[in-house]
Structure 1
Amino acid sequence: MIAVFLYNILLIVLYALAMALSINYFLRRKQTLFLLITIYLLFFIFDNAIIYMTEFINSFASSYNETFMSIPVAKTIIYVVNAYCSLLIVNNLLKRKTSFFQYGLVVILTLWMSMIPLLQNSATKVWLYYLPNQLFLFYLGLYGWLHLRKATDFSAARYFYTKWVSLSSIVFGLLILLEDTYVIYQVDQYTILNVKINNRNISEDIFSMLICFMLLHFLFRAEEEEKQAVVEEKEDVQFQLFCRHYGFTQREQEICALLLEHKSNQQIADEIFLSLGTVKTHVHNIFIKLNIKKRNQVIEVYENFHKSGKINTEVSSAV
């Protein structure tokens, strides 16, 4: 029981961490994708909390299982919200609009889970209740995979995460269905005198953990890329101010940037498609403006320019 308790705690902590980072990213970027992910993870936590209580509180388990067999409101809400959010998330990743057909699938899913509980209690009734959810997950994975292969305007990161989310949905849609089938027909009991349900699906837990780990990796990677972009933008501004201070022409700016990268005259000529003689002339003019005679002094002047505080004066005058 201690292992099960720790397992539940770790799951909730993982969901909560991923959700907190998603909320933070949404508040900073205002991107709908992260709002949808936040809601999706919130219902992961809600679902896991209910399952946890059925495993540790017998009175709650009995009451919940009886309610589930007649009016499974909580489970239906969880599945419908997660189906709707996952649909929008996949379309957001694919940069596609959600079609009326897909909205219709969510409506059919909702109606199905609302009507199945009216059947007579049996293992088949429970299996039919869960069936469309796993099929819907499989459909989303297949839909994402097929449309991803047609995409041409994806960044490497978006392609990577969309691909793995799609593949995970295909694989785990089938695994969850297989596990449900075995547990419902071989482990659970649905008799008039005794209703005993195993509410946890390990395959579903593994799928949710994979989604969380992919999200965490994506958010940390995005954070690093954002910081790098800020640094590069700052360096670009500093370089522009430096060039403006010394009155460089556009071509001299290009060559100066390459000089700061320790490029030789021949390398510069090859990179910007100029003759060697033309490059030498521009380098000579840069040396005159910087009042230097050696190539390595370009870097010294550049570094001293920023250390001297001249950049602050340049920024103020620009404003």
Structure 2
Amino acid sequence: MEFLTYYFTLVVLLAGVMAAASCFSAFLVSRKRIMLLACGGFLCAFFDTAFMLQDDIAAALFGPSLDPAYLLGRTVATILIGGASLTFFWLVVCDYVDERRRALHIAPAVVFLAGSFALLPFAGEGPMRFWFYSMRALYICWMLLFALVRYLGTTDPVERCRLERGRPVLIAAAALAVGIMAEDALFFVALQVESVSLGPVALQAERNYFENLLTLGCAAFACFYAFRALSLRFDAPPTDEGAGRERYIDDNLLAYGNRYGLTDREREVLRLILLGRDNQNIASTLTIALSTVKVYVHRILQKTEQPGRQALAQDFWKNA
């Protein structure tokens, strides 16, 4: 039944909007760039999914035989908006694994657009449609492969533990990416049909249901992560001291310190700085001279390349 596809599409749209709003809210309180990038990815995914409903409206207005100019414009728009969505998520991966090379940030998007537009003449019909529609799946596979290589190549046990937190998402996304390519191969190569009826449900070739499931899964994970960040700031905002705030600092201090090569003593000083202690208080807590504390603070700022305590705290809350 067409209504099932319609309501499934609405669920995907709702999930995209909810994930985008949650990520943006988390960004406002944490200032973590990864949350803003995820927000952009889900917003683009929302508009990309909305093209499915647009085609139904166009068919109702103009008849089942849509104008070739409309189809071309819609296809170009889906390449651009789909590419933007995937690139936002690629930047999320880069931010998560701390990949800072600008050329590597841009290169996959350029390859995706070049390949998609090169295959645009084959988007209408024939087995070559498989390669046109599989450009998205290949982009997703590139992200997953890159994340896997970075994880396997990490020798720092703390950083490896941090990266391992994303393993369930990596495995689920890999399984769904295989499903995306299998679905495209079934419709465009094996069957070469526009739709397949499975009882009361009609599956359409251009609506990749595994891709929609991937969007739903990523949206659920993003909402969970964003809600957790919002709950932490509600229970223990960075301006106030509390057990929740101390636990968050302790959970992330080692990874942050290893990223900048901080010593054990420098991490102890950094922890107290993040708790709002002044130099005299730090000296009393650690039973060291005030001048020694000043040396440690100077080294921490120098290693993290931050101009002062406030900027240091902001950098920790953004990147921890």
User: 2:185 matched to which residue of 1?
Assistant: 181
Deviation of 1:124 after TM superposition, in Å, equals 2.1
User: How far apart, in 1, do the equivalents of 2:15 and 2:164 lie?
Assistant: 24
Identity across the alignment (%): 13
User: 1:202 matched to which residue of 2?
Assistant: 209
**Can you list the C-alpha shifts for 1:27-61, whole angstroms capped at 9, x where unaligned?**
23332212211111111111111112334652466
**Unpaired runs of 5+ in structure 2?**
196-202, 244-283, 286-320
Cα distance change on mapping 1:66 and 1:235 into 2, 3 Å: closer
**Can you list the C-alpha shifts for 1:175-202, whole angstroms capped at 9, x where unaligned?**
1011011122325359xxxxx9632111
Cα distance change on mapping 1:64 and 1:48 into 2, 3 Å: farther
Residue correspondence of structure 1 range 1-319 to structure 2 within 5 A: 1-55=2-56, 57-59=58-60, 62-63=65-66, 67-68=70-71, 72-98=75-101, 100-101=103-104, 103-119=106-122, 121-151=124-154, 152=156, 153-154=158-159, 159-160=164-165, 162-185=166-189, 186=191, 188-189=193-194, 198-230=205-237, 233-235=240-242
Q: Aligned residue pairs: how many?
A: 236
Name the TM-score, length of structure 2 as normaliser.
Answer: 0.63
Query: Which residue type is aligned with residue 27 of structure 2?
Result: F
User: How far apart, in 1, do the equivalents of 2:240 and 2:28 lie?
Assistant: 22
Cα distance change on mapping 1:202 and 1:166 into 2, 3 Å: same
Cα distance change on mapping 1:229 and 1:5 into 2, 3 Å: same
Secondary structure, aligned partner of 1:204:
helix
User: How far apart, in 1, do the equivalents of 2:28 and 2:127 lie?
Assistant: 44
Could you tell which deviates more after superposition, 99-108 or 36-45? 99-108
Deviation of 1:72 after TM superposition, in Å, equals 2.1
Cα distance change on mapping 1:68 and 1:180 into 2, 3 Å: farther
Secondary structure, aligned partner of 2:14:
helix
Q: Check whether the contact 1:65–1:197 (CA below 8 A) recurs between aligned residues.
A: no
User: 2:293 matched to which residue of 1?
Assistant: none
Deviation of 1:79 after TM superposition, in Å, equals 2.5
Cα distance change on mapping 1:179 and 1:113 into 2, 3 Å: same
The root-mean-square deviation of aligned C-alpha atoms, in Å, is 3.5
Q: Check whether the contact 1:140–1:169 (CA below 8 A) recurs between aligned residues.
A: no
User: How far apart, in 1, do the equivalents of 2:110 and 2:29 lie?
Assistant: 33
Q: Check whether the contact 1:54–1:199 (CA below 8 A) recurs between aligned residues.
A: no
